[in-house]
Structure 1
């Protein structure tokens, strides 16, 4: 794995010695290595507005025998991702805290834009149909993805029946999924560094005949191979954290779309909830006595 980290560091260290065109290639790869890994020399050159031969010379400058050899290492980098410690070494690309603030937020915006541009809307609608027609919906996301699964579960419970968020606790994930079968849907949320337990659970559910919807960062992520439908939302952030802004936005879109399908059925439920919330002061803003 260290050699793949060295690839990015090598690009950074060589930056000042590169030609103007090669610097454009270097910047693109550093910020979009997951995308660059599957681009031809010609398409990469077209994207950054340089010639294909410039891309090849760029690979040669870095010590590779050709672009294909460089591309192979980029693909290994995407496949394996970086360890937390290794990614921590990359934060020195930010020259200041102000630069980090701008760069991180711009990357979040880029991830959302990429998600919108590359989303397969047919798959998105198919995912909604599977969720609405399922006997039970299980939501599985561990470690950092647990925040996404909890959020999705919180709102889906208002919209449909029989939603279960699988969480780490006294019961292992397999015990919580023991009764899942072919009538059920599993929404698996998996982001780098891809929890092994999540992947094992998805494999188990696939063997049980469950329909699998994955929310993940690419079609080559380990979660995708178990999925009937893969919803892709980018999380790339060249630092020790991943950006979960785009997957959160995708989850919001999923919730809103399901609510649109169920709006006539859920209206009375929300009216009942409002009465309960008011009765028990769940939201206290209208309690004048306590606000004085």
Structure 2
């Protein structure tokens, strides 16, 4: 796994050879790294009183191809450390609600586009193959990721007969994984601020010999270090709310890929389900024309 260098130490080690303007940038980043990580080069330059080109040269001086590469590394290093209060402080003041709606939806669209452009199709195929071969499939996602885990588990239970969604509660996650073996797979879903219990459970599953499929936001995510194959979906956020739209889209694709492989097996199953749903009025079939 790629090992990121501590950007703050890089800045400190190079501080004495920076120009006067670059030192202003360096001092701001070291003292306000959580804010700087989400500033454009122009905004950062304006904040410290230097030009945008000075910010770009600053990144080049530290060995980066450009400011965006430096910014990306800084975001990767800090995003799992940001508290909810810090996320709020980074948010725009959304007094214009129409603008807020557009910005948030646009950010979700950007996350989906980034996911589509960067997805590893071989890893995706391997994840499908591992899941189909497993004796048991454990789906693990806690805190905000629990919604993704529940959604994935709901549909996997239509496709497979060996699915267990691991939940937090009276029965600890370790107890729920107690009978897992090296013939099983754990699908671990983990997004910033990366639940410690999820990571501990993945480590426990790894010790038991389980295959691990990671669904997370980066190959340097702490969840990725436990995974036999990792599926990446971007979750960059504008505020304190996690953006889980791209992960949900990735999970939809994963479910459909599994369903395609199981098509012949599940057709009769869904026919029976439709009869049950109809008999017990599970879904509303009335409309205005029928009233």
Using a 3 Å threshold, how does the CA distance of structure 1 residues 73 and 273 change in structure 2: closer, same or farther? closer
Pairwise CA RMSD of aligned residues?
Answer: 2.6
Q: Deviations over 1:120-159 (max 9, x none)?
A: 1111011001001100000000000000000000000000
1:95, CA displacement in angstroms? 6.3
Larger relative helix fraction: 1
What TM-score does the superposition give when structure 2 sets the normalisation length? 0.79
Q: For residues 108 and 218 of structure 1, what CA distance do their matches in structure 2 show? A: 16
- Which residue does 1:257 correspond to in 2? 257
Using a 3 Å threshold, how does the CA distance of structure 1 residues 10 and 166 change in structure 2: closer, same or farther? closer
Instruction: Check conservation: 2:150, 2:165, Cα contact below 8 A.
Output: yes
Using a 3 Å threshold, how does the CA distance of structure 1 residues 253 and 199 change in structure 2: closer, same or farther? same
Gaps of 5+ in 1: 23-53
Instruction: Check conservation: 2:45, 2:55, Cα contact below 8 A.
Output: no
Q: Are 1:241 and 2:241 an aligned pair?
A: yes
Q: For residues 287 and 105 of structure 2, what CA distance do their matches in structure 1 show? A: 38
- Which residue does 1:270 correspond to in 2? 270
- Which residue does 2:46 correspond to in 1? 15
- Residue 139 of structure 2 aligns to a residue whose secondary structure is strand
Instruction: Check conservation: 2:38, 2:75, Cα contact below 8 A.
Output: no
- Which residue does 1:66 correspond to in 2? 61
Q: For residues 78 and 172 of structure 2, what CA distance do their matches in structure 1 show? A: 26
- Residue 92 of structure 2 aligns to a residue whose secondary structure is helix
- Which residue does 1:137 correspond to in 2? 137
**Equivalent residues, number:** 253
Instruction: Within 5 Å, give how 1:27-46 maps onto structure 2.
Output: none
Q: For residues 38 and 264 of structure 2, what CA distance do their matches in structure 1 show? A: 55
- Which residue does 2:121 correspond to in 1? 121
Gaps of 5+ in 2: 1-29
- Which residue does 1:200 correspond to in 2? 200
- Which residue does 1:187 correspond to in 2? 187
Q: Deviations over 1:54-83 (max 9, x none)?
A: 4xx21567xx89344986686354133122
